[in-house]
């Protein structure tokens, strides 16, 4: 499940629609940040950007 959520939340960054996952206004990412599942900077770090989400 986590891998699917990562894929969904990272897609706008991967395709150049947003610089970070939190910057994409149409995402549920903010809810997951508030719930403590993700850090707010997830999806904008170099480490995450190097991951392959296919």
Tens digit of each residue's pLDDT (9 = 90 or more) over 1-54:
888 999 999 899 888 898 888 899 999 999 999 999 999 888 766 666 666 655
Annotated catalytic sites, by residue? 26
Distance spanning both ends of the chain, measured CA to CA: 14
| pLDDT value at residue 40 | 86
The count of domains in the chain is: 1
Contact partners, residue 17, CB within 8 Å, separation at least 6: 24
Domain-embedded: residue 54: no
Domain-embedded: residue 40: yes
Q: Provide the whole-model pTM.
A: 0.74
Domain-embedded: residue 24: yes
Domain-embedded: residue 8: yes
Domain-embedded: residue 7: yes
The total of other beta-carbon atoms located within 10 Å of residue 7's CB is 13
Domain-embedded: residue 13: yes
How far is C-alpha 50 from the chain's CA centre? Answer: 13
What is the spatial distance between Cα 47 and Cα 51, in angstroms, rounded to a whole number?
A: 7
- Domain span at residue 19 reads 2-49
């Amino acid at each position: 499940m986590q891998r699917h959520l990562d894929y969904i939340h990272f897609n706008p960054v991967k395709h150049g629609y947003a610089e970070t996952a939190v910057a994409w206004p149409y995402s549920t990412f903010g809810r997951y940040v508030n719930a403590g599942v993700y850090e707010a900077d997830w999806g904008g770090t170099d480490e995450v950007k190097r991951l392959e989400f296919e």
